[in-house]
A and B are shown apart, each in its own frame.
Chain A
Amino acid sequence: MAILEAKGVTRVYETRGVETRALRGVDLAVEAGEFTALAGPSGSGKTTLLNVFGALDEPTEGSVFLDGEDLSSLSPAELAARRLHKLGFIFQAYNLIPVLSARENVEFVMELQGVAPAERRERALAVLAEVGLGELAEKRPTEMSGGQQQRVAVARAIVSRPKVVLADEPTANLDSKTASQLLDLMEQLNRDHGITFLFSTHDPLVIDKARRRVRLHDGRVVSDERA
């Protein structure tokens, strides 16, 4: 069974009376354990599709299934609960909580899940060590480089052991060396922990690393290749 599935998903935005069709009847299934890139030029609909899969946005038409459950029937609070327990997010701009340290940022999701303080501290420190930031656990985001912040974001996304990590342009703000190290890290997490990764990207480095490449153009899937 697919962990993520879009069936005939269309997303239309309306701004000041002007309609923009970001997705046009997309059908796509992502299987558990895949390392998939959604590629395409700007405006192709990859971020929109990622948001729809992440229960952050709802389709105008069609259905989205997460772990076999139709998201369209859920309330905002239920959607929040699905995001909390089944999904991890990595954003282009890192989006760490600035008033929390690296460890507290990583602990945040576990705290929402009700994990006991001692356990979440232990797990947070272990994951930070795994992404190479053991020394910076008590630093705040403003005291870290972009690459370090994105590693914290990765740690935050995987620490709660989600079924899927959705990463929106995760390397867009990083230099090529840092981006490569980050991709190696995510590939290793995918391999070692079986976490499903779905990226939106137009970075050739990410597309090369992906084992499945789904190309979008004008809101439609134009190719779907497996390495």
Chain B
Amino acid sequence: MPLELRLAWRNVWRNSRRTGLTVAATVFAVFLVVFFVAMAAGIHEKMIEDSVRVNSGHVTVTGEGYLENRTLEQHLVLGPELRDRLASLPGVRGHAPRVTAFGLLSKDSATQGAIVLGVDPEREGTVSTLPERLRRGRFVSDDTARGLVLGERLAENLGARVGDTLLLYSVAYSLEMAYELFEVVGVMRLPAPELDRALAVVTLADAQEFFAFGERVTEVALLAESGDRVEAVQTAARAALAGGGNGSGPVEVHAWNELMPELEQLILLDDAGMYLMLAILVVVVGFGILNTILMSVLERTRELGVLLALGLRPGAVFRLVYAESMLLAGLGLVVGMALAIPAVLWFQANPVHLGGEMAGALELFGMEPVMTWKLKPMNPIGSVMTILAVAALAAAYPAWKASRGRPVDALRSA
């Protein structure tokens, strides 16, 4: 072991109580950083997952200009070639074609605006959780024409129950008025209130017929194998589809954050608040290390002078003090990680189901009342780098002070 490191290790334990307190503060900070970053990652991933699985999918393929206008004019043609290309995309868990348009639903004297969503009953489950959100009745099926599944609040506002018949009317792709009777076959509860108040699901075939849309669809939703692969899927989809030649017409490929920018902003805001809090915590730990090392250097002025007098070069004295700081931080990191990683992995395997007002608040934001944790490799790596960087910064002044003194001045000190 190099001389400086050996001396540093022994010096660290000269005042074991002070070292213990500094290490404990570092352990506390490391634990909180790893735990809260993993909690935020888990919650954010759950928010995205919940949202993409009732809304857009991780990635959405649309006709050119659909995002800006959202009319039937910006469509794509779902021919065999496009289906083949979608099916062969790497990193995709499922894909589901959809027709999304707006219409009015009437029952007796009640009329409500609705988002009419035409889905392929066989494929929809590979992307969204809509079929799992049924509260009553059944999901739409190609076996029964003119079936309709309503959001729970929409059904309440219309006074509709399973088995009731509703009138849907809208403007078709041909710009003619379209109207048809649909039977309510199911009622589902959606976590996002604005969707629960507006969504009416029909089969893709019924939607295409109702809107005189032929083989066209407004979008194809893709679900990536994991939230980490969204960018890769988007890139692959762009490469596979944007070149044309698939018979679909010009297409655009959007990731969830382009389709739901408000969700991304919410996550960024939440991250900003959390990182600010953690930064304050880390700075406090940095001052703790600075205090310990500076006190240690000031107490040992004479001893450091002796080392210089005996022939230790100023650079070696600098390295010695630096090594003491890094050892303090390293000890805190090792113990902190040893506590934080198992704790996070346990919570990752055992999500916390919330109840009461907290659950209600989360549901209001369209989230399931479940707290989840996710340990990403960058979390411990980033924590280690941050704490070491703070320790390095904290050691700079004491190390500089220790190494620049003249031996004679240090030897004269009490």
CB-based contact A109/B310 at 8 Å: yes
Instruction: Annotate B186-200 by CB proximity to A: 1 below 8 A, 0 otherwise.
Output: 000000000000000
Question: In the complex, which residues of chain A have a beta carbon less than 8 angstroms from the beta carbon of B314?
Answer: 76-77, 80
Whether the pair A95, B302 counts as a contact (CB closer than 8 A) is yes
Task: Please name the residue on chain A nearest to B13 by beta carbon.
Answer: A99
Q: Would you call A68 an interface residue if the criterion is a C-beta within 8 Å of the partner chain's C-beta atoms?
A: no
1/0 per position for B285-308, CB-CB distance to A under 8 A? 000000000000000001100111
Residue A83 contacts which of B14, B310, B411 (CB distance < 8 angstroms)? B310
Inter-subunit contact B310/A84 (CB<8 Å):
yes
Do B7 and A99 touch across chains, with their CB atoms under 8 A apart?
A: yes
What is the bound-complex CA distance between A100 and B406, given in angstroms?
A: 23
Contacts A76-B314, A95-B303 given; does A83 touch B309 at CB 8 Å: yes
B315 close to A112 (CB less than 8 A): no
- Contact, CB under 8 Å: A95 / B308: no
B406 contacts A56, CB within 8 Å? yes
Contact indicator per residue, chain A 61-93, by CB within 8 Å of chain B (1) or not (0): 000000000000000110011011100010101
Closest CB of chain A to B315's CB: distance in Å? Answer: 7
Q: Is A43 an interface residue (CB 8 A)?
A: no
Complex: A85 Cα to B411 Cα, angstroms: 20
Contacting residues, chain B, for A41 (C-beta < 8 A): none
Residue from the list A89, A98, A113 in contact with B309, Cβ < 8 A: A89
Interface of chain A: mostly helix, strand, loop or mixed: helix
B3 at interface by CB-CB < 8 Å = yes
Question: Which residues from A are CB-within-8-Å of B307?
Answer: 97
Out of B311, B406, B408, which one reaches A84, CB within 8 Å?
B311
Does A170 touch B at the CB level, under 8 Å?
no
Residue on B with the closest CB to A86?
A: B311
| Cα distance, A9 to B278, chains bound together (Å) | 58
Q: Does A40 contact B (CB under 8 A)?
A: no
| A77 cross-chain contacts in B, Cβ below 8 A | 313-315
What separation, in Å, do the CA atoms of A84 and B7 have in the docked complex?
A: 18
Of all chain B residues, the one with the shortest Cβ separation from A83 is B311
- Would you call A89 and B10 a contact (CB within 8 A)? no
A51 within 8 A of B: yes
A3 CA / B160 CA spacing, docked (Å): 110
The secondary structure that dominates the B interface is helix
B369 interfacial contact with A, CB 8 Å:
no
Instruction: Known A80-B308, A95-B302, A95-B303; judge A100-B10 contact (CB<8 A).
Output: yes
**A199 at the B interface (CB under 8 A):** no
Distance of A127 Cα from B21 Cα, bound (Å): 41
- Residue B167 lies at the interface, judged by CB distance under 8 Å to chain A: no
Query: For window 157-191 of chain B, which residues contact chain A by CB distance below 8 Å?
Result: none
The interface residues of chain A lying within 8 Å CB-to-CB of B11 are 99
Answer yes or no: A138 CB below 8 A from chain B CBs.
no
Tell me which of B10, B303, B311, B411 contacts A80 (CB under 8 A): B311
A98 to B315 CA separation, bound complex (whole angstroms):
21
Question: A80 to B313, Cβ gap below 8 A?
Answer: yes
- Are A57 and B306 in touch, CB under 8 angstroms? no
Whether a CB of chain B sits under 8 angstroms from the CB of A111 is yes
Residues of A within 8 A of B308 (CB): 80
Q: Determine if B272 is an interface residue (Cβ-Cβ < 8 Å).
A: no
Assembled-state Cα–Cα distance A91/B408 (Å): 12
* Interface residue B407 (Cβ < 8 Å from any Cβ of A): yes
Q: How far is the CA of A12 from the CA of B17 in the complex (A)?
A: 43
Interchain CB contact under 8 A, A99 and B313: no
Check if A91 sits within 8 Å of B306, measured CB to CB.
yes
- Give CA–CA (A106, B288) in the complex, Å: 35
Q: Does B312 interact with chain A (Cβ within 8 Å)?
A: yes
B310 contacts A57, C-beta separation under 8 Å: no
Complex Cα distance, B311 from A111, in Å, reads 11
**Cα–Cα distance between A83 and B309 once the two chains are bound (Å):** 7
Q: Is the CB of B311 within 8 A of A54?
A: no
| Chain A positions near chain B (C-beta within 8 angstroms) | 51, 54, 56-57, 76-77, 80-81, 83-85, 89, 91, 93, 95, 97-100, 108-109, 111-113, 156
Given contact pairs A91-B306, A95-B303, A112-B311, a sample of 16 additional A-B residue pairs in the complex whose CB atoms are under 8 Å apart: A77-B314, A77-B315, A80-B313, A81-B313, A84-B310, A85-B311, A89-B309, A95-B302, A95-B306, A99-B11, A100-B10, A109-B310, A109-B311, A111-B3, A112-B310, A112-B312
